């Protein structure tokens, strides 16, 4: 693992803390921020919200199935 | 990213169109642009910066107003159009970025930025991008936040020393830029947005909880905390705005003071000389007083030598009289004794009678001695007269007044010469600074000090608010968890949303600190490797990074080197730049303005050998004092891919010409 790779850092903390949040959601959130970290106009809030809402819906569906 | 071509038109000293093609070769990757001071090296650097970001900066990264960006001669001829075109490649795509400003039609002579209109266009592989996408596209290729580390002014390398000073304002600014360059913003933005989403999620959860009787109290607590948090965040925002405003004011004053540094020095010198003048004048007054005192008794010193001779003579006379008196008394005694013997001719010693034949001899002796006695007549009045004279003349004593007066006169002359020198110097300095309002400079210095104090107070207030916000959020997290775990809310969509947001927010928050630590380690390693090649002192163990990314030199015994020369500072700063570039980005050019200014020949040689390895393209803006074309180029001749020279046309116009 590259110690200075931000995503690797996030995943490692998650594992250490035993958090339940999905790896995929965490990765998507990071990638979104990474792609837009130098954007002047910040438009990622809605996209982050959408990622979380999608994950919630997916969780609901999994429960139903 | 690779720069291909730069087309400058009417930018600062560059009147008309000037073209520069950057080297594309893999190993011949260095471009040299030679130019004397004030000919336009920094303007060349700024032309690239302005082309990419619409920003040209002076000291303290302060923005240069648009009106100063347009070539003064072109503007005087009525040509207010200034443009920069940058052609570059990135990920196998060709980019052509053109940015221009021109004065608005209704403005006759622009005075402020708003008197200009700016337009920017970008083609990617021949396809024109819409205006709203250009800024983000440029930032994807070559983020402005990182630009400080690849478009940099070597003369500002000493600013990096501030990273070693705890709580230095400038150090904080540079640290912020470094972290932006290192990719920390991805996590910082993520954390901030997750905080916002968490806030909304908590509100929704509280609304749901309000419907449940058992959870109503928690919902109310959450609502109160939310109100408090909103207020704290508003205060925090206001204070941050104040901090920025005050910092900007300080930067403006610093710029102003920097421009008048020479005047300030002269003013300090002036004050020193005025003090010296006062002391010298006081010395002169004291010397005059002393001289006046000495003159009162100086006549004694003048007469002393003559009087001494007279005194000697008088004392000899007195001694003579005293001897005569003494002799007369002795003779009189002798005559008396002999007369007594005549009357009673018995020897006083043996009591025998003195024979009659001896008596005539005694008589003769009496006559002779009486005659001598009469001849030794002494006038007692002469004696007292002499004593009087001796007493009077003995009062004339010398205290060396004459010599002291001469000595004082010499000192006075020296002081007077010194005073003339001081006064001449004072006149010169006053003439030099006559046009400057030195009182205003001093006022500005005081104002800066007051602003610094204010800034420090704002910093303390911000820390306090941050602590309060952290506490508030902890409390909200706690209540949200209680609600989530309660039977009524467990599994509810709003609780699950809060859980996800909480976890993500915590991960991003903690990730920032861990990433910072990891990045610091990486920068330290890269910078140490670069430093080992750049330094001439091979016994150094490397560099050690602090919390602010400041680098200290570690000696052979593992100790931190306390004092560093200006040259060492520059080498460390270059090593840091290299470490940051290697950590932050995998490719891209480096443009350096005057990077070798403070280096000795050996360090310069090391740096010149190392620079071509620092990036895919290295553009060096240098004067011939830094790189001697005859002597230094041999260090990396095989790496030079292009060479240009800035030629002076006039004081306000320069031209870039291709070299051999």
Contact B576, B178 (CB under 8 A): no
- Partnered with residue B554 across adjacent β-strands are B542, B560
| Cα radius of gyration rounded to whole Å, chain B | 49
Q: What percent of chain A has pLDDT over 70?
A: 91
The model's confidence at residue B31, banded by pLDDT at 50, 70 and 90, is very high
Q: CA B514, CA A11: separation in Å to the nearest integer?
A: 12
User: Which chain A residue's Cα is nearest to B132?
Assistant: A41
User: Which chain B residue's Cα is nearest to A29?
Assistant: B190
Q: CA B202, CA B483: separation in Å to the nearest integer?
A: 10
From A38, A48, A56, residue closest to B143, measured CB to CB: A38
From B183, B497, B508, residue closest to A37, measured CB to CB: B183
Q: Which residues of A touch B485 (CB under 8 A)?
A: none
In a domain, A45, yes or no: yes
Q: How many CB atoms lie within 10 A of CB B216?
A: 13
The pLDDT assigned to B279 comes to: 94
The pLDDT assigned to B65 comes to: 93
| Contact across the interface for A26 and B519, Cβ inside 8 Å | no
Contact B35, B45 (CB under 8 A): no
Q: Which residues of B touch A61 (CB under 8 A)?
A: none
The model's confidence at residue B292, banded by pLDDT at 50, 70 and 90, is very high
| Residue B583 contacts A where some CB pair is shorter than 8 Å | yes
Helix (H, G, I), strand (E, B) or coil at B24: coil
Contact B617, B3 (CB under 8 A): yes
| Contact across the interface for A33 and B493, Cβ inside 8 Å | no
The pLDDT assigned to A63 comes to: 65
The DSSP 8-state label assigned to residue B486 in this structure reads: S
Q: CA B356, CA B338: separation in Å to the nearest integer?
A: 14
Residue reference for tokens 């080197």: B561
> pLDDT tens for residues B553-581?
888 888 888 777 778 888 888 898 888 88
Range from B20-34, B437-451, B453-467, B624-638 carrying the lowest mean pLDDT: B624-638
Distance from CA of B27 to the nearest CA of A (A): 29
Q: How many CB atoms lie within 10 A of CB B546?
A: 16
Using alpha carbons, select from B561, B569, B635, B559 the residue that is nearest to residue B598: B569
Using alpha carbons, select from B307, B289, B291 the residue that is nearest to residue B401: B291
Strands B93-103 and B82-90: antiparallel
Q: Is the dihedral of CA B265, B268, B273, B276 positive or negative?
A: negative
Q: Which residues of A touch B496 (CB under 8 A)?
A: 56, 59
Distance from CA of A65 to the nearest CA of B (A): 16
Strands B589-593 and B617-622: parallel
User: What does the angle CA B602 – CA B603 – CA B606 come to, to the nearest 5 degrees?
Assistant: 90
Q: CA B445, CA B250: separation in Å to the nearest integer?
A: 10
Q: How many CB atoms lie within 10 A of CB B599?
A: 23
Q: CA B1, CA B178: separation in Å to the nearest integer?
A: 20
Contact B35, B13 (CB under 8 A): no
User: Which chain B residue's Cα is nearest to A45?
Assistant: B193
Q: How many CB atoms lie within 10 A of CB B215?
A: 22
User: Which chain A residue's Cα is nearest to B195?
Assistant: A45
Angle between helices B493-534 and B184-210 (to 10 degrees): 170
Strands B30-34 and B640-650: parallel
- Partnered with residue B294 across adjacent β-strands are none
Contact B159, B174 (CB under 8 A): yes
Q: CA B537, CA B554: separation in Å to the nearest integer?
A: 11
Using alpha carbons, select from B377, B383, B404 the residue that is nearest to residue B317: B383
> pLDDT tens for residues B231-288?
999 999 999 999 989 988 998 888 788 777 778 788 888 889 999 999 999 999 999 9
Contact B239, B458 (CB under 8 A): yes
User: What does the angle CA B424 – CA B425 – CA B427 come to, to the nearest 5 degrees?
Assistant: 65
Helix (H, G, I), strand (E, B) or coil at B593: strand
Distance from CA of A39 to the nearest CA of B (A): 5
User: Which chain B residue's Cα is nearest to A49?
Assistant: B197
Using alpha carbons, select from B221, B207, B214 the residue that is nearest to residue B495: B207
In a domain, A48, yes or no: yes
For residue B158, which phi and psi values (nearest 5 degrees)? -65, -15
User: Is the pLDDT reported for residue B184 higher than 80?
Assistant: yes
Average pLDDT over residues B309-316: 93
In a domain, A11, yes or no: no
Contact B35, B83 (CB under 8 A): no
Residue reference for tokens 């230095």: B168
**b or e along A4-32 (b: 16 or more beta carbons within 10 Å of the residue's beta carbon)?**
bebbbbbbbbbeeeebebeeebbebbbeb
Q: CA B491, CA B483: separation in Å to the nearest integer?
A: 11
| Contact across the interface for B136 and A41, Cβ inside 8 Å | yes
Using alpha carbons, select from B61, B12, B45, B196 the residue that is nearest to residue B589: B45
> pLDDT tens for residues B363-419?
899 999 988 888 877 777 888 888 999 999 998 888 888 999 999 999 999 999 999
> What domain count does chain A have?
1
| Contact across the interface for B500 and A25, Cβ inside 8 Å | yes
Whole-number mean pLDDT of chain A? 88
In a domain, A32, yes or no: yes
In a domain, A14, yes or no: no
Q: How many CB atoms lie within 10 A of CB B526?
A: 19
Domain holding A47, by residue range, is: 20-64
> pLDDT tens for residues B506-543?
999 999 999 988 988 998 999 999 999 998 888 888 89
Q: CA B227, CA B238: separation in Å to the nearest integer?
A: 17
**b or e along B125-153 (b: 16 or more beta carbons within 10 Å of the residue's beta carbon)?**
eeeebeeeebbbebbbbbbbbbbbbbbbb
Q: CA B91, CA A63: separation in Å to the nearest integer?
A: 43
Distance from CA of B155 to the nearest CA of A (A): 27
In a domain, A30, yes or no: yes
Q: Within the 33-52 window of chain A, which residues sit less than 8 Å (CB to CB) from chain B?
A: 33-42, 44-45, 48-49, 52
Q: Is the dihedral of CA B155, B242, B168, B454 positive or negative?
A: positive
Helix (H, G, I), strand (E, B) or coil at B34: strand
Q: What percent of chain B has pLDDT over 90?
A: 51
Q: CA B571, CA B556: separation in Å to the nearest integer?
A: 18
Residues 6 or more apart from B198 whose CB is under 8 A from it?
Answer: B498, B501, B502, B505
> pLDDT tens for residues B118-174?
999 999 999 999 888 898 889 888 888 778 778 877 766 767 777 766 666 667 777
Interface test with B, best of A14, A37, A42, A48 (most B CBs within 10 A): A37
In a domain, A59, yes or no: yes
């Amino acid at each position: 693992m590259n110690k200075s790779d931000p995503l690797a850092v996030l995943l490692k903390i998650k594992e250490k803390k035993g958090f339940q949040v999905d790896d995929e959601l965490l990765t998507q959130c990071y990638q979104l921020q990474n792609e837009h970290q130098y954007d002047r106009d910040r438009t990622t809030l809605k996209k982050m919200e959408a990622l979380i809402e999608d994950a919630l819906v997916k969780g609901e569906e999994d429960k139903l199935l | 990213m690779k720069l291909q071509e730069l087309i400058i038109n009417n930018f600062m000293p560059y009147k008309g169109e000037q073209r520069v093609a950057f080297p594309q070769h893999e190993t011949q990757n260095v471009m040299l642009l030679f130019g004397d001071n004030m000919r336009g090296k920094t303007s060349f650097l700024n032309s690239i910066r302005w082309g990419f970001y619409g920003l040209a900066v002076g000291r303290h990264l302060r923005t240069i107003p648009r009106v100063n960006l347009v070539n003064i001669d072109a503007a005087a001829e009525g040509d207010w159009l200034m443009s920069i075109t940058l052609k570059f490649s990135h990920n196998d795509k060709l980019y052509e970025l053109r940015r221009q400003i021109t004065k608005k039609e209704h403005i006759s002579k622009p005075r402020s930025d708003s008197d200009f209109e700016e337009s920017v266009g970008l083609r990617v592989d021949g396809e024109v991008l819409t205006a709203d996408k250009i800024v983000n596209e440029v930032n994807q290729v070559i983020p402005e936040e990182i630009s400080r580390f690849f478009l940099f002014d070597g003369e500002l390398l000493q600013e990096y020393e501030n990273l070693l000073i705890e709580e230095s304002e400038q150090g904080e600014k540079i640290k912020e830029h470094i972290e932006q360059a290192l990719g920390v913003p991805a996590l910082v933005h993520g954390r901030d947005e997750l905080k916002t989403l968490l806030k909304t999620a908590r509100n929704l959860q509280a609304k749901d909880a309000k419907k449940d009787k058992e959870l109503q109290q928690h919902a109310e607590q959450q609502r109160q905390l939310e109100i408090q948090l909103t207020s704290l965040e508003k205060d925090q925002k206001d204070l941050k705005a104040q901090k920025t405003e005050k910092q900007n004011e300080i930067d403006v004053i610093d710029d102003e003071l920097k421009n008048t540094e020479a005047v300030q020095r002269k003013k300090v010198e002036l004050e020193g000389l005025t003090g010296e003048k006062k002391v010298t004048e006081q010395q002169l007054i004291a010397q005059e007083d002393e001289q006046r005192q000495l003159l009162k008794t100086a006549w004694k010193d003048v007469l002393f030598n003559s009087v001494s001779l007279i005194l000697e003579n008088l004392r000899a006379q007195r001694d003579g009289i005293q001897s005569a008196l003494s002799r007369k008394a002795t003779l009189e005694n002798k005559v008396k004794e002999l007369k007594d013997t005549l009357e009673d001719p018995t020897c006083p010693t043996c009591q025998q009678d003195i024979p009659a034949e001896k008596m005539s001899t005694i008589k003769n002796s009496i006559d002779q001695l009486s005659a001598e006695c009469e001849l030794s007549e002494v006038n007692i009045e002469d004696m007292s007269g002499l004593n009087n004279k001796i007493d009077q003349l003995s009062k004339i004593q010398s205290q060396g007044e004459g010599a002291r007066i001469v000595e004082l006169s010499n000192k006075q002359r020296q002081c007077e010469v010194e005073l003339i020198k001081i006064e001449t110097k004072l006149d010169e300095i006053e003439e030099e600074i006559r046009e400057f309002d030195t009182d205003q400079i001093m006022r500005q210095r005081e104002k800066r000090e007051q602003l610094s104090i204010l800034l420090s107070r704002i910093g303390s207030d911000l820390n306090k608010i941050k602590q309060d916000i952290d506490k508030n959020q902890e409390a909200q997290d706690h209540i949200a968890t209680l609600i989530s775990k309660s039977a009524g809310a467990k599994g509810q969509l709003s609780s699950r949303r809060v859980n996800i947001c909480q976890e993500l927010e915590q991960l991003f928050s903690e990730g920032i600190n861990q990433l910072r630590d990891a990045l610091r380690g990486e920068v330290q390693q890269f910078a140490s490797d670069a430093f080992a090649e750049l330094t001439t002192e091979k016994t150094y163990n490397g560099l050690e990074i602090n919390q602010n990314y400041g680098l200290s030199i570690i000696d052979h015994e593992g100790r931190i080197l306390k004092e560093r020369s200006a040259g060492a500072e520059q080498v460390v700063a270059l090593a840091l730049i290299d470490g940051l570039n290697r950590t932050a980005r995998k490719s891209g050019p480096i443009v350096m303005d005057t990077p070798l200014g403070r280096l000795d020949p050996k360090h310069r040689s090391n740096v010149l050998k190392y620079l071509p390895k620092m990036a895919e393209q290295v553009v060096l803006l240098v004067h011939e004092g830094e790189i001697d074309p005859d002597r230094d180029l041999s260090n990396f001749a095989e790496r030079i891919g292009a060479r240009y020279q800035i030629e002076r046309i006039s004081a306000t116009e320069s031209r870039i010409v291709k070299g051999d």
